């Protein structure tokens, strides 16, 4: 479904991504973890067309998509959400979904039911809780009918109950055959939904495999668990 090969990206002298390669199959849920500044969000920006890599290739459904615009990729079925939630706070929940995909109004009810906001359709988005806002941002991504969904720290700032709610949505999307890649610092929540994880450190992949093996890997422990984080 998605094949990332040798992605390298520098910001001036800073090597944000260094020869990153991995693959994700249809319906798979891949977790991406790593310390702050490891390059996780940059990787999403490259995959989703917001940043052009210096080197490397991204193949989506077998087609090279490097250099394609985010809007083009969204039409192809590849869409991301942002670490900082982006919704239109002065518009209602329903209106936000319509903005995301005005061609598909019939789809609205299905999405609102899935994200648990059907009864809040008329509510102004600015009045939603953090968990509801997060679900709305995911709903907006779903409105484009993605085949691959990239979620950047979806569990951040959520209560235990809201996190459970979100886990159920992610599991449902897995069942629906949507491929998901999830960046997350909250490992317990991530490991509950991800089949496999990729660990980034200083722009490099230092581990790829099952979550249960990642937490025992020495390089991962040193890079990720051995240092204090500002968040998570």
Query: DSSP 3-state assignment of 188?
Result: helix
x/- mask, ligand ATP, residues 133-172, rule CB under 6 A, reads ----------------------------------------
> Binding Mg ion by CB under 5 A: which of 2, 17, 24, 41?
41
- Residue 220 CB partners (closer than 8 Å, separation 6+): 199, 206, 207, 214
Does 80 interact with ligand ATP (rule: CB under 6 A)?
A: no
Of the residues 18, 24, 42, 169, which one makes contact with ligand ATP according to CB under 6 A: 42
Q: Per-residue x/- mask for ligand ATP, residues 20 to 39, rule CB under 6 A? A: --------------x-xxxx
Show the tokens assigned to 64: 């090279």
Instruction: Specify the DSSP element, H or E, that contains 151.
Output: strand 148-152
What values do phi and psi take at 219, rounded to 5? -60, -40
Contact call for residues 108 and 94 (beta carbons, < 8 A): yes
16 binds, among ligand ATP, Mg ion, none (CB under 5 to 8 A by kind): ligand ATP
Please say which residue, 4 or 93, places its beta carbon nearer to Mg ion. Answer: 4
Q: Give me 175's structure tokens.
A: 């069942």
Task: Select the residue interacting with ligand ATP from 16, 181, 193, 194 (CB under 6 A).
Answer: 16
DSSP 8-state secondary structure symbol assigned to residue 83: S
Convert residues 1-40 into a mask of x (bound to Mg ion by CB under 5 A) and - (unbound).
Answer: ---------------------------------------x
Distance set, CA 189 to CA 57, 96, 166 (Å): 30, 27, 9
Contact residues toward ligand ATP (CB under 6 A) are 11, 14, 16, 34, 36-42, 83
């Amino acid at each position: 479904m998605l094949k990332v090969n040798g992605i390298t990206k520098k910001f001036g002298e800073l090597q944000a991504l260094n020869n990153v390669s991995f693959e994700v199959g249809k319906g798979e849920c891949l977790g991406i973890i790593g310390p702050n500044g490891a390059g996780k969000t940059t990787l999403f920006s490259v995959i989703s067309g917001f940043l052009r890599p210096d080197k490397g290739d991204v193949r989506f459904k077998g087609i090279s998509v490097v250099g394609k615009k985010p809007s083009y990729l969204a039409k192809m079925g590849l869409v991301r959400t942002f670490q900082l939630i982006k919704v239109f706070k002065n518009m209602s929940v329903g209106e936000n979904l319509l903005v995301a995909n005005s061609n598909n109004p019939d789809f609205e009810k299905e999405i609102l039911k899935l994200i648990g906001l059907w009864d809040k359709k008329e509510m102004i988005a600015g009045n939603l809780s953090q968990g509801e806002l997060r679900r709305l941002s995911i709903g907006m991504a779903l409105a484009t009918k993605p085949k691959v969904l990239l979620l950047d720290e979806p569990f951040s700032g959520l209560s235990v109950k809201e996190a459970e709610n979100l886990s159920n949505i992610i599991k449902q999307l897995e069942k629906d055959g949507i491929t998901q890649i999830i960046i997350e610092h909250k490992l317990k929540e991530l490991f509950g939904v991800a089949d496999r994880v990729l660990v980034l450190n200083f722009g490099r992949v230092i581990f790829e495999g099952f979550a249960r093996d990642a937490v025992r890997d020495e390089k991962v422990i040193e890079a990720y668990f051995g240092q204090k984080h500002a968040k998570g």
